[in-house]
Amino acid sequence: MPTRTPLHPSSGWCSEPSQNPSNNVSPNSQNSPPFFGGELIPIISWLAIFCFFQIWLLDQQQQQSRKPNIEVVAGINQRQCCLLADAFNLAFEVIAEEIRQNLKFDEKGIKWKSLENPLRELQRILREGEQFIRQCSDPKDWWAKALSLHQNTDCIDFHLHNLLWCIPIVLEAIETVGEISGCDQEVIHKKRIVYSKKYEREWMDPKLFQHKFGMQYLVSQEICKRFDTVLKEDRWLFSEMVFEKRSSVSSPLTKQENNIAELLVGSKGKMFPASFLVGSKEYQVRRRLGSGSNYKEIQWMGETFALRHFLGDVEALRHEISLFSSIMHPNVMNVKYAFSDEVKKESFLVMELMSKDLSKYIKEICCARRRIPFPLQVAVDIMLQIARGMEYLHSHNIYHGELNPANILVKSRNSPEGYLHIKITGFGFSALKNLKPSSNQTDSNPYIWYAPEVLVDQDQTSGSSSHSKYTEKADVYSFAMICFELLTGKIPFDDSHLQGDKMSRNIRAGERPLFPFPSPKYLTNLTKRCWHTNPSVRPSFSCICRVLRYIKKFLVLNPDQGFPGPAPPMDFFDLDMSLSKIFKTKTTTGTMRISEIPFQMFAYRVIEREKTSMNIREKSSDSGSEGTPICGDEAVFAMNINDDSFSTLDSLKQSSTLNSEPTKKVSVRKLEGKSKTYLVKSPKGRVRPPQLTHCGRGLRTKSESYARSMIMSPGSRRTFGHVSDPEFA
């Protein structure tokens, strides 16, 4: 890794000021860094100070490690921490430059409102990344840190994943504010044209997108290469570190430290003697996890872990232990270390300790005054983490078969919003599974979590659980039932009087839970698609992940709207179907690389803008043919759309085409024939130019609200009642 010049928080961190004096703020201002100030600025300044301080700290550690004759205990995951700090630094530089180029400081209290929530979300992501860096860089208890962190992939698959998802949202929010920034209507009009040119189909190629926007969205070729190599580099550095400690003559290791060193550099899935664990002076059983459970909480070398203890033939489990020890994903529980005692015929599996399962957590937080267990944004985040974990398992041809809230473990992320860290467990180890439905699937009827085709197979095999029907689509059905509980706080079919075989028959016949109160339509549609009776209609988890990321984006850009809140301008699954060929991954493992996320978000936005503008043109043509005036902002939006871009809409679904009457189609052709001037008739028949709204209102917000009112009228929505499979809209 190339060396960098250490950067101190007190050093300069902004480029030269703008030539326009009205946009400049004195660099010596007491309460704000250069070019920024006011309510939003503490977030920006915090990003700057944190990023530069972490880079400076890491550089200081690297410089000290190169000094001769000085023993320095290096941190864990050094390369990952450096990559994360560099990504945070680059994110700040990009956002600061976008704000400087597109916004006006003196309008911060008037027009910057829509930027607050995206920046707050970014701040939360950076704080979680800061905790990871501090944890890895802490030199205390090196052996304990090595046991818990050296196989960790959270840097790439969690923190950088969240950062790359959030950057497009912040950039879009800046563009939204930029469209109404200033009072010069000609300048505002030109900026809108520039923004519309950015989202053209010619950039909907992954390589062209990376070439054009790679630095802006943190996915340049240089950064992507580091994404691919940083884990291997850290593992090599770690093995070298352990080798040096074992070879040290001046500070020889104790017997216990030698055992731990053998664990750390040993091959994944290898079963070590149980004496390495239970014979350690630093090993202590603290409590049993759950009544009658074979899980325990232990303390080992000062760190807490979860321990699974079971008796029986070890040989039957060696293959599965080796397989599940190689699983590395932030949202999937993996086996860190495995131990066995050949004489006593017992085995021990050491795993990360979580707080409780999702079922118990929901029961604890739900009450009469809190019928909805989670805020929408937190609920969608939980759904996304579960979907990402299942996407990873399916990419390795591992099907769960027992996906339910009891097999979803949670742990607090110490955020005031109530965000949780999710890990999927309960899969694999078929040698230990009872052939009957497991009793730990929650206290409810176990049939409610199984897909209809699984229930059919169980009925044909006299009630036994057949693993032949545990497929990707069966897991998607179970995921839908979890989504229902996340949205309503109720166990599916909890109000039903049917139990056992009667419940199974009704589910196979197509009965689904009832939403007890109105829920967001875009989430109920997702749930209905996932629990459809026909498995081929259910989406894959890769598709679900893409849709949930865009739903999270919608919620970040539309906060504090109550429940169920506003509806998005269109169905996200329709967008995903339009882009399914572009989104097909080419990786050898079958898993999506996090560097693809910004392109996916960008492609969604391109199609969304095209469909929204098409709906606005349809509305405009309807209004024009009836002699009804339309808002000047919408007229400008129509002017900003290049006619050539509408020719690409022919490739979209037929359901997206215009459905105007013949007389209205004539007016549409007339409108499309006009190149630059869009004249609107007034009620009295006079022709007037389009009226631009005052600089205080945003064109995009108003235009998209028109589209929402067209394609999703409140009167036609049905967000609760009996669910039938064909209903998605």
What CATH number is associated with residue 304? 3.30.200.20
- Give the residue from 533, 567, 592 where a domain finishes: 592
Number of structural domains (the chain) is: 4
Q: What is the pLDDT of residue 342?
A: 85
Whether the per-residue pLDDT at 655 is higher than 50: the answer is no
Give strand pairing partners of 338: 271, 349
Instruction: For residue range 187-206, list pLDDT tens digits in order.
Output: 888 888 988 899 998 898 99
- The residue with greater pLDDT, 28 or 328, is 328
Neighbours of 700 (CB within 10 A): 19
Please compute the mean of the pLDDT values over residues 557-577 and round it to a whole number: 77
| pLDDT of 292 | 60
Could you tell me if residue 229 is inside a domain? Answer: yes
Name which of 186-195, 203-212, 371-380, 430-439 the model is least confident about: 430-439
Domain membership flag for residue 190: no
Identify the domain boundary among 351, 377, 407.
351
Q: Is residue 57 part of a domain?
A: yes
Cβ–Cβ < 8 Å for 302, 310: no
Could you say which DSSP state residue 367 is in? B
Query: Which of 569 and 452 is assigned the larger pLDDT?
Result: 452
CA distance 122 to 127: 9
The per-residue pLDDT for 68 is: 36
Same domain flag for 444 and 561? yes
Most confident of 620-624, 665-669, 714-718: 620-624
- Hey, what amino acid is at 209? F
- Residues 428 and 497 occupy one common structural domain: yes
Q: Indicate the pLDDT class of residue 463, thresholds 50, 70 and 90.
A: low
Q: Residue 432 — pLDDT band, cuts 50, 70, 90?
A: low
pLDDT in tens, 313-366: 777 778 788 888 888 999 999 999 999 988 888 889 999 999 999 999 999 988
In this prediction, residues 669-673 reach a mean pLDDT of: 40
Across the range 418-445, mean pLDDT stands at: 66
369/423 same-domain check: yes
Would you say residue 482 lies in a domain?
yes
- pLDDT number for residue 107: 87
Structure tokens at 255: 């017997």
Compare 434 and 557 and report the one with higher pLDDT. Answer: 557
- For residue 388, the domain's CATH number is 1.10.510.10
- Looking at the chain, how many residues does it have? 729
| Beta carbons within 8 Å of 6's beta carbon, 6+ residues apart | 55, 56, 59, 60, 63
> Which long-range contacts does 290-293 make (Cβ < 8 Å, 24+ apart)?
290/440, 293/440
Question: How confident is residue 544, by pLDDT bands cut at 50, 70 and 90?
Answer: very high
Q: Which of 682, 602, 643, 595 minimizes the C-alpha distance to 160?
A: 595
pLDDT of residue 600: 93
166: domain CATH number is: 1.20.1410
Residue-level pLDDT at 623: 63
576-584 contacts, C-beta under 8 A, 24 or more apart: 576/539, 576/543, 576/546, 576/547, 576/604, 577/653, 578/607, 578/651, 578/652, 578/653, 579/603, 579/604, 579/607, 580/543, 582/204, 582/206, 583/542, 583/546
Domain that holds residue 105: 24-182+220-237
Question: Which range, of 64-73, 177-186, 191-200, 221-230, averages the lowest pLDDT?
Answer: 64-73
Mean pLDDT of 682-706: 43
Q: State whether 300 and 399 are in the same domain.
A: no
Indicate whether 260 belongs to any domain. no
- Give 706-726 as a 3 state SS string: HHHHHHCCHHHCCCCECCCCC
Among 696, 702, 681, CA closest to 637: 702
pLDDT at 376 over 60: yes
Q: Are residues 431 and 580 in the same domain?
A: yes
**Burial of 439: CB neighbours in 10 Å, binned 0-12, 13-18, 19+:** exposed
State the DSSP code for 568.
Answer: P
Same domain membership, residue 343 and residue 311: yes
**β-pairing verdict for 346-351 and 303-311:** antiparallel
3-state secondary structure of 377: helix
pLDDT digits (tens, 9 = 90+) for 194-247: 888 999 988 989 999 999 999 999 999 999 999 999 999 999 999 999 999 988
**What residues pair up with 305 in beta bridges, in sequence order?**
298
Average pLDDT over residues 39-68: 46
Mean pLDDT of the chain: 76
Is residue 630 situated within a structural domain? yes
**Amino acid 462: pLDDT:** 62
In this structure, the answer to whether residues 430 and 543 fall within a common structural domain is yes
**Residue 387 within a domain:** yes
- Kindly state whether residues 415 and 341 are assigned to the same domain: no
519, 527 Cβ separation under 8 angstroms: no
**450 pLDDT higher than 90:** yes
* Residues 6+ positions from 277 with CB-CB distance below 8 Å: 283, 300, 337, 339, 348, 350
48 pLDDT band, cuts 50/70/90, is very low
In a domain, 521, yes or no: yes
- How far separated are the first and last CA of the chain, in Å rounded? 52
Query: Which residue blocks in 511-631 are alpha helix, DSSP H?
Result: 521-530, 541-557, 572-578, 580-583, 597-625
State mean pLDDT over 429-454: 63
609 or 501, greater pLDDT = 609
Whether omega for the bond prior to residue 564 falls within 30 degrees of 0, making it cis, is: yes
Q: What is the C-alpha to C-alpha distance for residues 133 and 81, in angstroms, rounded to an integer?
A: 6
Render pLDDT for 607-645 as a digit per residue (tens, 0 to 9): 988 888 887 777 777 666 555 444 444 443 444 444 333
Confidence label for 70 from pLDDT (cuts 50, 70 and 90): very low
Torsion sign across C-alpha atoms 6, 9, 11, 12:
positive
Please check whether residues 457 and 557 belong to one and the same domain: yes
- Residues 176, 37 share a domain: yes
pLDDT band with cut points at 50, 70 and 90 for residue 429: low
pTM for the model stands at 0.78
Residue 556 banded pLDDT, cuts 50, 70, 90: very high
Above pLDDT 90, what percent of the chain?
42
Residues 346, 368: one domain? Answer: no
Q: Are residues 57 and 146 in the same domain?
A: yes
Domain final residue pick, 332, 351, 370: 351
